[in-house]
Structure 1
Amino acid sequence: MLGDRSRDGGRRTFLLSRIVGAVTVTGEIVDRPADATAERSLADLEELWEKQTATVRVDPNSDAETRLLKRRGTTRTDDGSLTVHWSDRYLLADELASFGPEVEVVSPDSVRSLVRERLTTLIADHEGSHSA
């Protein structure tokens, strides 16, 4: 996490599922802040979820529309798009990509890029694998 140490020193919350490489034990001891509790972590995640939204267009009456409208906090905008809340853009991108052509990410660009990346990888992984 050397890159993280160079940041502003703010709090960080990491998903264990995102640790994909080897872990190196450094022996360095980091003092945990006194207010670093499960309750505080949940409150921080809730605050993050509340302020981060993505706007998506969905096919009417599709599985994507049905499922996304059932997500907590999802609202429909005047133009029919959906506003969905998220705390982790990678998890949101996984979810949105799973709907395939039923969803188009309008914003933010970071989520749109991640969805496009996942769909491009999916296509590449399956090229030439169809049977005649």
Structure 2
Amino acid sequence: MSNKLETYQKFALGNPESVPAGQYGKETLEKLNLYNDMEGKLVLASDVRQVLSYVASGNADAGFVYKTDALISNKVRVVQAVPDSLHAPIGYYSGVVSDTEHQQATESFMAFMRHQKAQKILERYGFKSVK
């Protein structure tokens, strides 16, 4: 993975100060001891979709995006999955606000999301299933 990263002239990354995917990307580059070498090649973006746009338009050679975002574009392709060991765990969490006016509907939705049918839908769009 590290050899390929060094060949890029412009590499898009969500701004690590405000973009979670950028924080994971920076952490990955640091663990590979590449962040300092690549810092001058980084094109910082305001969010993951902007990173995707930079790569799709050719304004960056490559970039760090979530797989789920890469799958929505036919102008980019995933060339390398980042091993989970190179960054903090990525999770999407949900909960019910205790004073919601929609308690029953929210609980029904949460139950559906744990159902096998919902998990299959999420997997189709690049998400890992809930354990």
Alignment TM-score > 0.5, same fold: no
Q: TM-score, normalised by structure 1?
A: 0.27
Structure with greater helix percent: 2
Report the TM-score, using the length of structure 2 for normalisation. 0.27
Q: State which structure, 1 or 2, has the greater radius of gyration over its C-alpha atoms.
A: 1
